[in-house]
Structures are given as structure tokens and as C-alpha cells.
Amino acid sequence: MRRIADFLRDDILGQGSWLFSAVMTTLVFLLCNHALVLGRAVGRWDVDGQYMQYYVLVCDFFRAGRLLYWDPWTNGGIPLMGDPQVGAFSPVTLVLGWVLGGSPSSFVKYWLFMWWLGGMGMLLMARHLKAPPWGAFLVSVSFLFCGVYTGHAEHTSIVISFSALPWIVWRLDKSLKTRNLLPALQAGAIWGASALCGYPALTLITGCFCALWGLGRLVMPDEPRTGGVPGGIPSQEMRGKQRKVGFLIAALTVMAVVGVLVLLPTYFSFLVEGAGHHTRVGVVEKEEAVWANALHPGAVATFSSNFLSILQMNNPDSLWPYTDVSMSSIYGGAFMTLLAVFALAAAPRNRWRWWLAFMGIMALACAMGKALPLRSCLYDWFYPMRFFRHAALFRAYYLFALSVLALYGIRILADAIRQGDGAPWKRLFHVALVLTPLAIVTYIAIWMPLPNRYGTEDVSAVLHLLFVWGGAVGLIQVCRRYGDAPCRWAAVILLGVLVSVDAFVCADLAKRTILDHRFLERWKDLDRMHSRSIDLTANGLRREESAFNRHSPKKQLNNDQMITKVPVFNAYATEINDFHLAMAANPRLRSLATGTNRIWFSPVAMEVPPVRKVFEAWEGLASQDLPPLVIHDRQALVKGQPGLTREDGSWVDTMRMLPPVKSVSIENLQYGPDEMAFLVECPEDGWLLVTDRWAKNWSVEVNSREETVYGADFIFRAVKVSKGPNAIRFTYRPLGLPWLVYLSWGTLASACIASLPFAHRAAAPRV
């Protein structure tokens, strides 16, 4: 038995078995996602209709030796590089796309890889906090299948941002502990890199969370570790308040500056190129920011089982009606929840752990924007918090704080096993005796009254509930009652099995929010229809009306045009413009911008403000014939929010006297993503309407002379032309690019080069 105990302690569960823990975490992760790994299923919802297509398009550009700026295939053209979720300038996305292949089938590998990185980050965080490898495995597996991942698996950008969180905090905390600015620089580089392909709201909140983490390290010291070795900020850092504050400010400043330099090209493009093109530029209305997809207080019950959030899909009116199914779960795993509470109970005077708990609780309070006032206060008092909605996203930081607390709990148990001390196990057992009945009763109380259930899956969910919570109590009791080392190490291994089963069943029960078997053939069709060419010339001016998922019983918009390279006027885009949506819904207006001949001529044009009342009058003129040509002042487009304001004026009557536009033929078309050139014969002096979308940095040459590109018909482009032949060339040159990309990548490269000596020292064998 002693040999068995030594084998378990030293070879399987010992302090040097981090590689083994990483391998086991990876195996469990792949097993839980076996349907995706084996190609038997694909992603669903936003993965199927949005993120997979983004990935393919970005990779097609990179493989063609270019960066994606303008997307001419979607909604008449959009400055897609300004959407952070696309990853147009993300070196991680581009390199993986080059290695894995920019196809729909290879997207699954990219998606799973970005998800897996979250578990690896948690392992590194565990090692930094001196948790044992076996404990790191337990927490990292639970973290990989917590409610954020199972709920938001469809939202690749949220997966990326959440996976980056443990990496960022790990490096920042390393900087604060060692008083070395290099890890803070690395934290900034990781934060900025994640922002290039992550969800903007999480990018912002992560920065704020890091500031609160640093503040907690400053004022809430950790407990000393066994043997008198300080476990929090090293003793040499305690020489004076002023020095500690100064270093914290320096570390956060380095992180912020490096991160901003890295994320700059995407966010600068979003603000500059999006102005006048879509309504996402600017603050969100307070009611939408605070209430939209806020976490219902009743959803806290999901701490007991992730399946409660799946039941919401069958009971949308009776179970947390204003919270989307993707936003409703706070499940972190039964054993991880027990460990987190135990970490607080085992050291009730440890202020740092209570600070972590405080941050987690405040994150939950912010998530409940409709029930609690904290999210509303942040909107009023902290200006950056006005730029995003979906308050329930804050719950991600509750689950991260829960995971970190669980690592502290694991560290206590590891010390207890080494010392043969049963007291910590006894305290954990008492915590389990309180939380386990609470979890079971909570689940039953929510589940029993529901009118619509899933039948067999309900039985599986109840068995899972009893197994993970009851199994944890039983194994903790074994460790409490039996002090013999082999028994405790065997129980630890069984805890690993229990956590793995918990993750597997969670993934299986949450498959409705993760994967879809029905669309497998659709993805294979898209692989076959994939066009890697980014030159539109061969298709001419052809543009279809809409991109619909033909495999779905509902007419559901998607972005398949990014794969087939056949432009559409109405697709699934986050960069919304109210005028465009109204045109897409009006058959006559839609005909302006679709078909194979969509360039128009008018002898006259009238300047009108781009506001709702004018648009409605102009739209009314299209009921009998094609509408007239109207143009707009550049500043009115850039400074306003298209489609959101109303204004009266006498020009409405004058506009009714304008002639409708007329079709003209073009020759020698050259059509690329950032350029359009053609010849046109005009019957007289006048205006040419090109039904590609307007943006502020489109320029035009007419007969080799630079002319002004006017915003026309609320979303399109117009240019003055003269009688006879006209050689037209439109070119898109977004402000600051590609130089901002070079600055971003140069900053990342500098951070990597500066880290090489550190990596060499870390890899060097210890004597």
C-alpha cells in the first residue's frame, strides 16, 4: 500500500506532474466535445450563421496576401475590420487560419482551440497560486464547462475573451507579486490580442476587473503559507504604502498602454470608419444597456445544475423570461462551488479571499441590471459602461472569482493530505452538508412546476444532480474519516473522475446551446461552395437579395455570402443601419441595389438631411416608380446617428418634384473589395448613383480627376459626372491603416522578444 501511495503522490499527483494535468485536462475537454472533434456535429446559432463565416473570410484575405478592410459581399458593403468580433487584425486568428486552413470545417478546430486555451490559462493560474497539479486539473475542467462556456459556445468572441481572462490575470498578479513590470507588459499584450477578436464588452470589463484585482492586492494581503513563507505580496514589497501604490499604478499603466496599442487598429476603425455608416457607434440607450439580457435573480438557481438553463428553452415565458438562454447559467461545477465556499470558511479572516468573493458578488449584482441598481449606477458614473448591453455578461467574472477561490481551497486540502490532517476535510464536509441539500432542493423547486420538460433528459439531469453533489459529499467523507494516505489519494483520483463526469454530462445536457447535428450537411455544402477568390469582377455587379439558411425551417439570415462570394443586400450583420433595414424590407427600394444592373443616373440631385422624416417621404415616392436621387452633407452623416432622429423642412415637397433615377450601362468593370472601376456613357451632365454603401474614407476619381464622394439615398454613394464617357474609379483607404496594424503587431512582437529571456530562465532545469 505504501508503494501505491508513493506512486500516486509522486508520479500521478505530485508537484511535478503539471504536464500530466495539462494532458488529462485536454483529454477530458476533447472527450466532452467528441461530436465536434469527430466531425459528427457542427456549431449552432451564431457559430453557424456568423462566426464561422467571419473566420473563413478573414482567412481568405490573409491567404490572398491582404488584410480585410471592406466587405463588399454584405449589406451593400460594410467596414468589417472595425468589428472586433471578426478578428480581421488578430494575428492568432490569421496564423491559425493559415495553419488549419480557412474553410468551414477547419473553423471547428480554431473554435475548440480558443475554448481549450481557457483551461490551460486556469492551469497556469493554479501553478502561480501554488495549487497542486491534481487540484488544478479539477478546477480547470470545471472552468472549461462552466455556464459561460456552455451558454456562450455559440458566441466565439465571448469564448475568446473569457479564455483570455485567466492568462491576463495570471500575468498581472505575477507582476504585482514580484514587482517586475515585464509580466504586466505581457498581461497588456494578451489583453490587447484578445480584444482583436474578442467581445468588446468583455474587453472593457476585463480591464476594470484587473484594476480591482490590483487594488485588492494592495489593500487586502493574503495569508502566510505553511512554514511562514508569505503567500501574498512578498515581504520586500511592504516597505511603504507609497512604493506599493506607485508600483500598482505603474503596472496597470504598462498593461493599459500596451493593450491599447495592440487593440488600436480595430477599435480606431470601429469609431472612425463606422461613423455615418451604422448606429453602433455611440452610447447605448440606458434602458437597453441596463435591462437588455439582464440576469434574472431566479437564474441564480443554476448554481445547482446547468440543465436549468436548458429547461428555459422549453419554458421561455415561465422561467426567467427576460434572460436569453445563453446568459442564464452560473453553474461552475458542484465540487468547484464547494471548494470556493470552503476557501472562505477555512480562513474567515483572510481579507484577500473575501475581496475575491466581493468582486464575484458585485459581478452578479451588475448582471442583475433589471432587479438591482448597480449596473444602472455604473452606466451613470462610469462613461465607458455606456457602450454595451447584455448585463448578464458580468456573471463571467463571478465564475472566474469562484474558480480562483476554489484554487485556494484546493491548496488547503493539499497541505492537509501532506500533513495527514483531517480537520480541513471535516470543514469541507460541513460546507458540503449545507450546500448539497440546498442545491438539490433548489433544483427540484424550479424543475417540478415547469409545464414543458424534456423527458429522458430530465431523468439524466436529476441523476447527474444527485451524482455530482452526493458523490462529492461521499468522497469528502472518505477523506475525512480515513487518514491513511492511499485512501485519501484514491479518493482524490475519484474526485477527478467525478469532476470529469460532471463536465461530460454538462456538455451533453447543454448540447442544444453548443452543437447541431442537422446542419452537418450544410457545412459540407459550404465547404464545396467555398470560393477563395476575393475578386468580384467575374460576377460583375450581381447582388442577391438575402442570405438565408436554406436548411432552417425559418427564414433565418446568415452570412454564407462570405463563403460563396456572391454579394447580398440583406445578411446577418451586427453593424446595423436603420435606413438599410427599411430598404431591405421594401421590394422597390431593394431593387435599386440588387440584380446585375444597379448603377443609376439622374440629371439632378437634391441635398437633404439624413433623418427619419425625410427618408419616409423619399420612401413614399418609390411606391409608384423608382425614387429620386438625394444626397447628404458629409458632416450630417458622420455626426448623426443614421435613422434615429426626426426633422421637418420644406424640402419634402420639393423632393417630390425630382425625376426618378434611370439605369445606365457600364463597361470594363474592375471590382475588388476596396476598389471599383468602370466606364460609363452619360446622356448629359448630372449624377451617378452607385448602390454600394457609403463610408467616409471612400474616394473617387472621374476621368483621372479627384471628385467628392457624396452620401446618396441615405446609405449609397454618388458622384458628379459630365456628358459623354466617364472613367470612374472608387478607392477605399481607411484612416490610419495599415500603419496602425504595424504598430499593433510590432507591440506584440516586442512583448514576445522581451519575454524570451524570461521563458529561457523558466525552461532551464533546476539544479
Q: Is the dihedral of CA 191, 197, 199, 204 positive or negative?
A: positive
Stretch among 230-239, 320-329, 488-497 having the lowest mean pLDDT: 230-239
Per residue in 725-760, pLDDT tens?
999 999 999 999 999 999 999 999 999 999 887 655
Per-residue pLDDT, averaged over 53-79, amounts to 97
Beta bridge partners of 682: 724
Window from 194-208, 222-236, 506-520, 671-685 with minimum mean pLDDT: 222-236
Residues 6+ apart with CB under 8 A from 132: 13, 15, 410, 411, 414
The candidate with the shortest Cα–Cα distance to 205, out of 347, 356, 359, 88, is 359
Tell me phi and psi for residue 130, to 5 degrees: 65, 30
- Provide the pLDDT for residue 3: 52
pTM: 0.94
How many whole angstroms separate alpha carbon 526 and alpha carbon 516? 16
For range 215-242, the mean pLDDT: 60
Residue matched to cell numbers 489583453:
191
Quick one: pLDDT at residue 550? 58
Q: What is the Cα Rg of the chain in Å?
A: 29
pLDDT tens digits for range 136-168: 999 999 999 999 999 999 999 999 999 999 999
pLDDT at 37 over 80: yes
Closest-CA residue to 673 (of 537, 532, 530, 526): 537
- Residues 505-524 have a mean pLDDT of 93
User: Between β-strands 716-721 and 686-693, what pairing exists: parallel, antiparallel or unpaired?
Assistant: antiparallel
Name the band, by pLDDT with cuts 50, 70 and 90, for residue 421.
Answer: confident
Q: Cα(438)–Cα(96) distance, rounded to whole angstroms?
A: 45
pLDDT at 649: 54
Q: Is the pLDDT of residue 235 over 50?
A: no
Average pLDDT, the chain: 90
Judge whether residue 1 has pLDDT over 60: no
pLDDT score of 636 more than 60: yes
Determine the pLDDT at residue 237: 45
The pLDDT score that the predictor gives to residue 52 is 97
Spatial separation of the C-alpha atoms in residues 191 and 169, rounded to whole Å: 9
From 592, 612, 623, select the one nearest 691 (Cα to Cα).
Answer: 592
For residue 645, what pLDDT is reported?
45
What does the pLDDT read at residue 489? 75
Of 606, 531, 541, nearest to 563 by C-alpha is: 531
Nearest of 194, 182, 203 to residue 250 by alpha carbon: 182
Residue indicated by cell numbers 470601429: 270
Query: Quick one: average pLDDT of 13-41?
Result: 89
H helices present in 64-155, as ranges: 91-100, 104-128, 133-144, 147-152
Mean pLDDT across the stretch 355-378?
97
**Does 766 have pLDDT greater than 50?**
no
pLDDT of residue 2: 52
Mean pLDDT of all residues in 41-70: 96
Q: Is the pLDDT of residue 699 over 60?
A: yes
pLDDT band at 483 (very low <50, low <70, confident <90, very high): low
Per-residue pLDDT tens digits for 512-521: 999 999 899 9
Q: Which of 244, 228, 127 is nearest to 179 (CA)?
A: 244
pLDDT in tens, 531-554: 999 999 999 999 999 987 555 545
CA distance 203 to 192: 8
In contact, 719 and 295? CB cutoff 8 Å: no
Q: What are the sequence ranges of the domains in the chain?
A: 2-275+296-516+744-763, 576-732
608-622 pLDDT, tens digit per residue, is 989 888 898 899 888
Residue 547 CA, chain-centre distance (Å), reads 23
Max mean pLDDT among 49-63, 230-244, 313-327, 482-496 falls in 49-63
Instruction: Quote the percentage of the chain above a pLDDT of 70.
Output: 91
